[in-house]
Structure 1
């Protein structure tokens, strides 16, 4: 009886010990077994693949008109401000004659003496005219008398001819005297005008005779006032700029290496700011000349200007302005029905590329080839199928066969 009890107790101890060993093994396996890695995933899908160039630029007016001073003058204080709307023919600037320079007392005295001298010359010329008139009258009487005497044969014909020539000479002398009188009169007027610059005039006392109004050449808005106060200006000095903000274009500077890839007519999307709808446009011109520009990193780059024609209506462009910054997305090529995988899933493998595909809860390395890629996605040529799930940002620690727990991006 005792032997049977001891055997049963021994069996129970062995059973309990075995169960304890199994439980400990289960605990150790659960503690040290590989845990699924939480990863971000995305699906491989068919869609539109676009190769684009993304750069920034600015808006500018298609036509800008610069109003300049046609002559040296005194600009009147402008009545318009930047942003004011103007119509073609509206007065946008007014010019007045320049004020004469100030003259000192000595110069004024000299000018007064010149006026007196000129008046005296006028009087002398007037006297010469009167003397010439008297001489002509006498020569005329002598010529008439000689003609009558010659007709009655009291004098020779030569005497008659001599008196006639004397009358003609007297007539020419009168004309010369009259011309001298006119010249003396003009000289006197010139002397008085020179003296007049030294005396206060109506224009200097506040009146503005001879104003010259400059008019707007087109309908538009005032973009810039080069002169915002009354001041003297020289001929050709810029006064203000006018343009139509409803007719604008965008200019985007791209790297010279990217310029040959851009075709005229290519689609462009422009972003003008946060929460603003994009503007659509097309490439109108690619400049044939490059220029040097220093990047934000201090690197000199060769850039080329690309002009974009906007498709937005004028009333929408009126909300924007000349020089506004835009972010441009220029489409180089586009293909529909392409098999796309996010660029974030690609991992370098030697000279090629691979992705990690989620299969049965594990990451499986898959070599892929693609036709083209951009910053967002790659156009897969071989190695993947539509609907498969790939791991994004797998990192250097990802291994083939590693358990993963997927979450969609």
Structure 2
């Protein structure tokens, strides 16, 4: 009987030891995994941007007088030549010498601006003709195999840019001509009209009212801003890039506009990287050197008709593209500890191998916000651990939460 009790106690002690060993044994670390894949890869510069009008016009009072109440409001559409405001001139028929000199000076300045705008339009016309001629020659040579496709694309881009510059110059000439006519009419009205005859202030261009500076009836001086106009169909995107990022961006670089509120990303193209930078203090209080980069929307206007002036957008400028390379989620990548000499040891990832994490040293070729491009160290189809916890070490037991 005593022998049987000892056997029972021994078996119970062994079972308890086994139970305690099972309860306190190291459990696999739960991790998230994803598969290394072959596919396209892009290097990008990501930044917040905003839309702005390419041209905006401030309509000012051409005369000193009594302004009638302006009925237009922000967002109203106007046509070129439409009456925006009415002034009751405060000048007498016998014009004072000072007022006459001011109006004559304004007319002379408008005449000079018109002449300069004409010269700029002529120069833009010459550049457009030269660009179109170069494009036609390159197209003929490309058909014979003497010109590469990239050079032909550059000639087409140069012609498109010259065409846009010519249109902008023509618009500036029209605006300058209208301002000259307005100044001339103001001088003639001040000289010829009788006191109390109203004077109409007209829109220089077609567009929409952006801001009404003086809506109520009031006495205004010569040159007082009345309204601000702009054409919301001529938008551009402005992004303030770090100067180190801007060095990777060039005119013609493709751009995707994301996070703007629409159903699909918009396509755009870099038009200009401004040559001068500026200092800006970040939200963390760090001084940064940044530079303005201007982009033109190339998607059909119907897709971005809801955008207006000063809207926030997400800008993704594509600086490099690869058709088929090995990529992993960027969260799987981590820097390896430096060696005893202080030199960087490179980059590593943990690969899932039969329930264990295996450390692989990888060659990093590039990365963006979502993906990392690897040259070696991982094979396509292998599962890598994303954002590995501190408990994960080489050879550690792991349990994937999800399937790649």
Q: TM-score, length-normalised on structure 2?
A: 0.67
Please point out which of 68, 71, 79 is paired with 2:63: 71
* Residue among 207, 213, 217 paired with 1:220: 207
1:152-191 to structure 2, matched below 5 A, reads none
Q: Show the 5 A alignment for 1:115-126.
A: none
Residue equivalent to 2:385 = 391
In 1, are the aligned partners of 2:29 and 2:392 still within 8 Å (CA)? no
Instruction: Name 2:401's counterpart in structure 1.
Output: 407
How far apart, in 2, do the equivalents of 1:406 and 1:335 lie? 30
Equivalent in the alignment of 1:293 = 280
The structure-2 alpha-carbon separation of the partners of 1:275 and 1:223, relative to structure 1 and needing over 3 Å to count, comes to: closer
**Aligned CA distance change for structure 1 residues 304 and 232 (closer, same or farther; 3 Å):** same
| Partners of 2:261 and 2:75 in 1: CA distance | 24
| Residue 364 (structure 2) pairs with residue 377 (structure 1) | no
Alignment of 1:7-406 (within 5 A): 16=8, 19-20=11-12, 22-98=14-90, 208-209=196-197, 211-274=198-261, 276-349=263-336, 350=338, 351=344, 352-406=346-400
- Helix, strand or coil: the match of 2:247? helix
Quick check: which has more Rg, 1 or 2? 1
The number of residues matched between the two structures is 295
Give a deviation string over 1:65-111, Cα, whole Å, max 9, x none: 221222322222112111111111211121221177xxxxxxxxxxx
Task: Tell me the distance in 2 between the aligned counterparts of 1:316 and 1:238.
Answer: 34
Whether contact under 8 Å (1:246, 1:315) holds in the other structure is no
Q: Secondary structure at the match of 1:257?
A: helix
Q: What secondary structure, in the 3-state scheme, does the structure 1 residue paired with 2:18 have?
A: helix
Residue pair 1:247, 1:317 contacting (<8 A) in 2 also = no
8 A contact 1:246–1:317 mirrored in 2: no
CA distance in 1 between counterparts of 2:305 and 2:388 reads 48
Q: Is the 8 A contact 1:66 1:240 kept in 2?
A: yes
Q: Write out per-residue CA displacement over residues 109-140 of structure 1, whole angstroms, 9 at most, x where no aligned residue.
A: xxxxxxxxxxxxxxxxxxxxxxxxxxxxxxxx
Alpha-carbon contact 1:88-1:218 (below 8 Å) kept: yes
Find the aligned partners of 1:21 and 1:79 in 2 and give their Cα distance. 96
How far apart, CA to CA, are the structure 1 residues paired with 2:259 and 2:16?
66
Provide the residue aligned with 1:147 in structure 2. Answer: none
The Cα shift of 1:302 comes to 1.9
TM-superposed deviation, 1:10: 8.3
User: Is the Cα–Cα contact under 8 Å of residues 39 and 323 in structure 2 kept in the other structure?
Assistant: yes
Structure 1, unaligned stretches of length 5 or more? Answer: 1-8, 101-201
CA distance in 1, matches of 2:226, 2:204: 14
Whole-angstrom CA distance in 1 between matches of 2:206 and 2:259: 25
Cα pair distance change 1:10/1:300, threshold 3 Å = closer
* Counterpart contact for 1:247–1:314, Cα < 8 Å: no
The Cα of 1:376 is off from its aligned counterpart by 2.2
Distance 1:316 1:93 in 2: 34
Measure the CA separation in 2 of the matches of 1:329 and 1:300.
23
2:259 & 2:372 partners in 1: Cα distance? 28
